[in-house]
Structure 1
């Protein structure tokens, strides 16, 4: 009899994951199955007390006004990262039952070994529909000091952002009431909420806080670049672990034009390689028609065609590129900035020449190649293989 009950519970769990069965309060998953469902360590992973390299605490970049990386932290005082909170967030992030039919999770569009982005141009929602924009990589979301999220920055905080895809009619398709009811009806969440918040009560506020904690924990600081930077006094000095080509690419990226570089760091600042405070129009088109970018959130004419700039950490893993996924390779991205920037009315200042026209960088093939190989040094293999960021479901 016990074996029969076990098999029935497994069948119900399988059907629930496919969205073919919805359990009520009286039909919760057997708590004895919890260890069969989740692969969580007895001692919680460390999310809250990360030892960052010393270069995250300083700023020696040649572009003025940039703080150290750690000073760009957007964590609110009301939602500091805890190990238990981020652990709960990890389970929620990978749980497909947070979608209407149990077919997609947050992780479906933010894949760990793809830098928490999606290799498809547009992601697929729970019912197979396409998302409006390409999935933005989540690496170093912690270090965007302005704290707004999505390509158009429509979410004022990360806590607000994490709930919106769940409710989106294309992406995950749940109401918040249904979300809470599903989690309440799933036994493996009870101890996770107790550990994170002191009791088993499920609320949308607690769901959003724990998801935000997990996303903020997705930080990169162990790439080839970081190894070289840690052994060097200044970011612009040649790194001993870099090839000549990689050092050339680094110089072109970090130095402003007066010092022989391209000033890329103006839009990809700090050691997190993320824009600290503002979105940018990068001249993808001469005019904006179907997608007006940040303007759709602010109504400010100066924001037409501007989009949030994600961190370049793990960028080599995150093809395709831009908000619409129009570029398939890093080589195409570099060529855009070299020769393809369009004269949009809101084009970012750094991309204009002295007469207000789009800059033409006139890079040699050697320089373009060097930029690409430098960007590949920002890949953090430790992060993209770290178990604490991986799928906890067996």
Structure 2
């Protein structure tokens, strides 16, 4: 990790430890007599600082054990500020783009266009869904893991010339100009005082707040969660699943067996080798999945080794939450499974995950139609409903 990123992470930890609420304080609303005229004027009832939404103490199933929030524990105050920052177009140079432009609540905080629109063009990769980012072992961010953690990631799009335009390069304003801009906004004076006991705005405070809000976005109300809650482990049959859904779960969890040429002879699909139940987060040791194209169509990109959780990959009814993969080249679950069914090792791909090239050959899963349909049925059980409509994750400017 570069020294600058290490120092930035240290600053986040020190500021959080000195400014953040205690766990008890995080759940205690302020007295109803507190007044925040600028916040009330801008947001009305959608942001009520005297009656905070619950970000800090949400129910987490007992079988969920991964949690990467230890250095930045969620508080209701700071996550509330993070929500406003996430949706505020003032964070872009021309006031037209916010974080939510590329990460839309209605599509599981992803995007339903291949390349998301920025202030000076479009993104180089498809925008990743932001579901259950807290519940993952992988702490690095972006498809190519270029951000050491979520905190650092949150301001990188703001400082990108194409995305939000405060790069300080190519004639852009600098991030310091953004801080000056936000410091003049009355509702931010109240919100930063409320969250950090100081009106002063810094990049580290913005990172802490945005990361807390993003980590608060969780989805555990799926059919899978109902079944897992009463099952002794992931491999046991779920009583609320159909036979097809249980078959798909077994295929997802069970590793395949291959012959010398990389052709499956027995076992399942082994999806869980990289997408690990019950969080369905990506294994941090994963390499790329064989899709090495670019949105622009120029050259190859073998550095994409991260992926979002498979939760809410689609909606309960099977409707997709936008395109899949860093290029957006996959648009259906059938196509996604089909990709892994036949892995072709493209020239120049020196970073293909070894689990996809048994014996040095691209895997051939020899999938049947029944197996494909079963895995699709199972993947649909990973989708909930609350995350799409819950007001605490919605746009407060509406």
TM-score relative to the length of structure 2: 0.80
Tell me if the contact between 1:280 and 1:309 (Cα under 8 Å) persists in the aligned partners: no
**In the alignment, which residue of structure 2 is the partner of 1:165?**
157
**In the alignment, which residue of structure 1 is the partner of 2:387?**
383
**In the alignment, which residue of structure 2 is the partner of 1:235?**
234
**In the alignment, which residue of structure 2 is the partner of 1:361?**
365
Flag as ranges the 4+ runs of structure 1 deviating above 4 A: 285-289
CA shift, 1:190, in A, is 2.0
Give the direction of change, closer, same or farther, for the CA distance of 1:240–1:146 in structure 2 (3 Å limit): closer
Alignment partner of 2:336: what SS?
helix
Report the Cα distance in structure 1 between the residues aligned to 2:339 and 2:57, rounded to whole angstroms. 40
Give the structure with the higher percent helix: 1
CA shift, 1:144, in A, is 3.1
CA shift, 1:290, in A, is 2.7
Give deviations 1:293-316, integer Å, cap 9, x for gaps.
43xxxxxxxxxxx42122101111
**In the alignment, which residue of structure 1 is the partner of 2:67?**
73
Give deviations 1:78-104, integer Å, cap 9, x for gaps.
x22111111100000000111111111
Alignment partner of 2:245: what SS?
helix
Tell me if the contact between 1:284 and 1:342 (Cα under 8 Å) persists in the aligned partners: no
Confirm whether residue 145 of structure 1 aligns to residue 145 of structure 2.
no
Confirm whether residue 290 of structure 1 aligns to residue 299 of structure 2.
yes
Give the direction of change, closer, same or farther, for the CA distance of 1:164–1:249 in structure 2 (3 Å limit): same
CA shift, 1:289, in A, is 7.3
Q: 1:352 aligns with which of 343, 357, 370?
A: 357
Tell me if the contact between 1:34 and 1:188 (Cα under 8 Å) persists in the aligned partners: yes
Give the direction of change, closer, same or farther, for the CA distance of 1:364–1:156 in structure 2 (3 Å limit): same
Give the direction of change, closer, same or farther, for the CA distance of 1:340–1:318 in structure 2 (3 Å limit): farther
Number of residue pairs matched? 336
Tell me if the contact between 2:83 and 2:393 (Cα under 8 Å) persists in the aligned partners: yes
Q: Judge which range, 340-349 or 153-162, deviates more.
A: 340-349
Report the Cα distance in structure 2 between the residues aligned to 1:229 and 1:144, rounded to whole angstroms. 18
**In the alignment, which residue of structure 2 is the partner of 1:193?**
192
Tell me if the contact between 2:136 and 2:279 (Cα under 8 Å) persists in the aligned partners: no
Report the Cα distance in structure 2 between the residues aligned to 1:359 and 1:325, rounded to whole angstroms. 22
Alignment of 1:313-328 (within 5 A): 313-316=311-314, 317-328=320-331
